[in-house]
A and B are shown apart, each in its own frame.
Chain A
Amino acid sequence: MNADLLTQAAVSGALIGGLYALMSLGLSLSWGALENINLAHFMFILFGAYVTYQLTSSAGIDPLLAALIVVPLGFAAGGLLQIFFEWAKVDEFKSLIISFGLFIILQSLARTIWSADFRSLDQSINPYVGSSFTVGSVSLQIPLVIAFVAAALIAFGTQAVMGRTFFGKAVRAVVHDPDTAQAFGVDHRRVGVLLAAIASAYSALAGVLIATFQSLSPTMAVGWFGIVFPVVILGGLGNAVGNFLAGIIIGVAAGVAAVIWGPLSASLVTFSIMVLALLFRPEGLFTRKAAI
């Protein structure tokens, strides 16, 4: 086994791990803070990617600039969905089943609009794909570096907001004890809708980043299950920085496993990590006290 190859796999894995973290963050936040297991986040990612593809290929917008349109759309969609959840008084299980229904509907909608074939941005309009720079013997792909930096900023930014601002305190108060929070003037509905909207905006942004370097197909969303759930469990629900570190761990593990045992083994390895985490640290690797 070539050491260079392994280093390369580990570095690329860590970079794409940042993207995994961003893909998981929305689900983790809404699960940890709102007690919704919102599978629709997978669809926010998928539609984020497809809308970026559409904007870039038909209007010629730079794929990263498309985020200026896609992310607000994700924000609005997530907020509306949360308003619906509040209105219907949905509990954790119902949110799982309802968002599963949404998942199925939206996936079939994506197939109707963009067909089941693979779609990817043409090199001529996508300046990011294929570009890379090398550090020593390791080459770094530009789109992955961008995704990694964005994910890191978001993870640490979210953590800071949760820890320091009034909004963050309001969220933690609502999670801890909704009734008392209400008595102190925190409207848990508004906090919930805003948080859900932010979480969905993250997922939409992850979709934009995916579109810059991957081919898209409607069925890829199911494949993300094997990545996102291990990251969410490993990182601890609602723990943004823990989630980021977990993304890197999963990314490196999947990347190295793919080099050693072949690409198909990656999901086996990530799943085994999830099972081990469930057995020994069900509250997540990086959670000291209660999450959030």
Chain B
Amino acid sequence: MKSRRRALTGFAVAFLILLAVPHLAERMDWPGFYLTFMFTAFFWITQSSSWNMLTGYSGYFSFGQGAWFGVGVYTTAVLAGKQGWSFLAALPLAGFTALIVGLLLGLVVFRLRSLGGEIFALTTLAVAFVLAAIARIFAAIDGGRGAFMTSVPLPEFLGEFRPAMYRMTLVIMMLTLVTAYLIYESRLGWGLFAIRDDEQVARGLGVPTFRYKMAALGANAFFGGLMGGVWALQIGFVTVEDVFSIRVPLFVILMSVLGGTRHWMGPVVGSLIIFTIVDRFNSAGFENFNQVFIGSLLILLVLAVREGIYLRIRERWVATASLFGLIIAASVIFNSSSMVWKFLWALLGILLMALIPDRAWQKLALRRRPTPSESREDRETVDA
């Protein structure tokens, strides 16, 4: 209870600090793309954290993030873009439509105990494909002509376009993270992790597996869709090819696997690193190279870093924090490129440090060698 109150206070403080950034940006006259960079990072953090509520916690591997995202995008694109609803009225519906689609899918695939996780994964892969076909067929949704979001008016209290996007994505990200944290700490979270470890044992111990899996899938779809609803504004001209592409599921998988799916913070760390790298690649003109890089990194991570780098960073937090500070300080002194590049160098430093295997790290850090009994325990857990 005490730790939960402290964590929630932490969320509130982080929210207030981040909320102040647009004012600061105006005062200090930051380049406009800083805000864009930040709210795109919020977008990815939300997508990967919501994906992790299902896949990380319950172990059911999902390719469906693109579907939830796409349903959200098209909900606001149709309601606000075509029907002329006010944007803030349409936005919650983006989350709820995705929630309904997600629960319908869950009703089909979670009903059957004989269905393994791999069938679930493939079904989610096909869902985005089918939703794309539906959007193309019905002219009320898209009909192959796309949908414009560029003339949708935003409420005045949100400010100009960039600060408004920043504030909306920030609120949704915070809601997602608090939910991810609360699930992680709750009975639901324990049940989901039990399902991940061994579903039959979990059911035998009285975990209501169907309800819990539906809850996780629902939360995933809801937040993915809600953020999709806002993102329709950033896309501007919404097309089926763009929205239901393989991009969103690919990135959230990569981000979460990099950060680690066993902890709610894993996807946050992974998203920051991957998004920053990809963003800088793009701005340096390597768009075509991106896919190759992403694919290779995914393969490498699956083979090499099983638990994700967040847990390692947390174990090595002193070194991480000092390295981050050091690189930022060094790049401030030695070069004058934009803040985002400095951020990239610092993140790459952390990434490299986190990739050092535990054994090599212990030698580097001059820790005491584990006693023979400890190392035997070590090996046994690895073997198991």
Write the residues of chain A forming the contact surface with B, with a CB cutoff of 8 angstroms.
31, 37, 88, 92-94, 96-98, 100-105, 107-109, 111-112, 222-223, 225-226, 229-230, 233, 262, 264-265, 267-268, 271, 274-275, 278-279, 282-283
- Are B129's CB and A278's CB within 8 A? no
Listed by A's residue number, 10 A-B pairs whose Cβ atoms lie within 8 Å are A37-B121, A96-B121, A98-B302, A101-B298, A104-B246, A108-B295, A233-B119, A268-B130, A268-B134, A279-B108
Q: Is the CB of B288 within 8 A of A96?
A: no
Contacts of A101 in B (CB 8 A): 294-296, 298-299, 302
Q: Which residues of A contact B115 (CB under 8 A)?
A: 278, 282
Given A222-B246, A274-B126; A108-B302 close (CB under 8 Å): no
Minimal beta-carbon separation of B86 from chain A (angstroms): 32
Tell me the B127-155 residues at the A interface (CB within 8 Å): 129-130, 133-134, 136-137
Give residues 236-267 of B contacting A (CB, 8 Å): 246, 250, 253, 257
Query: In the complex, what's the smallest C-beta–C-beta distance from A230 to chain B, in angstroms?
Result: 8
* Contact yes or no, B122 A229, CB < 8 A: yes
Q: Which residues of B contact A268 (CB under 8 A)?
A: 130, 133-134, 137
Taking CB atoms, residues of chain B closer than 8 Å to A31 are 118
Partner of B126, one of A94, A108, A111, A271: A271
Query: Across the interface, do B246 and A105 meet the contact criterion of CB distance under 8 Å?
Result: no
Decide: A104 and B291 in contact? CB cutoff 8 A.
yes
- B295:A267 contact, CB within 8 angstroms: no
Interface: B343 (CB within 8 A)? no
CB-nearest residue of chain A to B135: A264
B146, chain A: closest CB distance, angstroms: 15
Q: How far is the CA of A264 from the CA of B121 in the complex (A)?
A: 24
Determine how close the nearest CB of chain B comes to the CB of A268; give it in whole angstroms. Answer: 5
Which listed residue, A98, A271, A274, A278, touches B303 by the CB 8 Å rule?
A: A98
B295–A105 touching, CB < 8 Å: yes
Asked if A97 contacts B296 (CB within 8 A), the reply is no
Q: Which residues in B have their C-beta under 8 angstroms from that of A265?
A: 133, 137
Residue ID in chain A nearest B137 by CB atoms: A264
Known: A92-B118, A279-B108. A267 touches B125 (CB 8 A): no
A97 and B303 alpha carbons, distance in the complex (Å):
10
Instruction: Pick the most buried of A98, A104, A226, A230: most chain B CB atoms within 10 A of its CB.
Output: A104
Q: How far is the CB of A28 from chain B (nearest CB, A)?
A: 12
From residue B191, how far is it (CB to closest CB) to chain A in Å?
Answer: 21
Q: Are A225 and B288 in contact (CB under 8 A)?
A: no
List, in ascending order, chain B residues with CB within 8 A of A104's CB. 246, 250, 291-292, 294-295, 298
Q: Point out the residues of chain A lying under 8 angstroms from B130, CB to CB.
A: 226, 267-268, 271
When distances are taken between beta carbons in the complex, the residues of chain A under 8 Å from B295 are 101-105, 108
Q: Tell me if B112 counts as interface (CB < 8 A to partner A).
A: yes
**Which residues of A lie under 8 Å from residue B299 when comparing CB positions?**
97-98, 101-102
Which chain A residues border B250 with CB–CB below 8 Å? 100, 104
The 10 closest A-B pairs by CB, nearest first: A108-B291, A105-B295, A104-B295, A101-B298, A101-B299, A101-B295, A271-B130, A267-B133, A264-B137, A226-B129
- A271: which of B111, B129, B294 is its contact (CB, 8 Å)? B129
What chain B residues lie within 8 Å of A275 (beta carbons)? 108, 123
Give chain B residues whose Cβ lies under 8 Å from the Cβ of A233.
Answer: 119, 122
Query: What is the bound-complex CA distance between A97 and B294, given in angstroms?
Result: 12
Knowing A104-B250, A274-B126, the reply to whether A94 touches B302 (Cβ < 8 A) is yes
**Residue of A93, A103, A278, A283 ringed by the most chain B CB atoms within 10 A:** A278
B296 contact from A93, A105, A271, A278, Cβ within 8 A: A105
| In the complex, residue of chain B having the shortest beta-carbon distance to the beta carbon of A261 | B137
Chain B residues near A96 (CB-CB < 8 A): 61, 118, 121
B109 interfacial contact with A, CB 8 Å: yes
How many residues on the B side are at the interface (Cβ–Cβ under 8 A)?
35
Assembly CA distance A47 to B361 (angstroms): 42
B114 contacts the other chain (CB 8 A): yes
* Closest residue of A by beta carbon distance from B113: A282
A109 to B115, CA, bound (A): 34
Q: How far is the CB of A175 from chain B (nearest CB, A)?
A: 15
B246: chain A residues within 8 A (beta carbon): 104, 222
Distance in angstroms between the alpha carbons of A120 and B299 in the assembled complex: 32
User: CA–CA, A268 to B129, complex, Å?
Assistant: 9
CA separation between A225 and B64, bound complex, in Å?
14
Q: Which residue of A lies closest to B119 (CB)?
A: A278
- Tell me whether A93 and B117 are in contact in the complex, defined as CB-CB below 8 angstroms, given that A108-B291, A271-B126, A278-B109 are known contacts: yes
In the bound assembly, the distance between CA atoms of A267 and B292 in angstroms comes to 29
Centre residue among A37, A112, A233, A271 by max chain B CB count within 10 A: A271
Chain A hits for B112, CB < 8 A: 278-279, 282
The CA-CA distance from A67 to B330 in the complex, in Å, is 58
Docked pose: A289 CA to B109 CA in angstroms: 23
A124 to B171 Cα, complex, angstroms: 61
A109 touches which of B61, B292, B303 (Cβ 8 Å): B292
A238 to chain B, nearest CB (A): 14
The docked-state distance in angstroms from the alpha carbon of A109 to that of B292 is 8
Q: Which of A37, A94, A108, A262 contacts B292 (CB 8 A)?
A: A108
Output the nearest chain A residue to B134 by Cβ-Cβ distance. A268
- CB-nearest residue of chain B to A223: B129
- A103: B residues at CB distance < 8 A: 295
Q: Which residues of B lie under 8 Å from residue A98 when comparing CB positions?
A: 298-299, 302-303
Instruction: List 16 additional contacts besides A97-B298, A104-B295; criterion CB under 8 Å.
Output: A94-B303, A97-B299, A98-B298, A98-B299, A98-B302, A100-B298, A101-B294, A101-B299, A102-B299, A108-B292, A111-B288, A226-B126, A233-B119, A271-B129, A275-B108, A279-B111
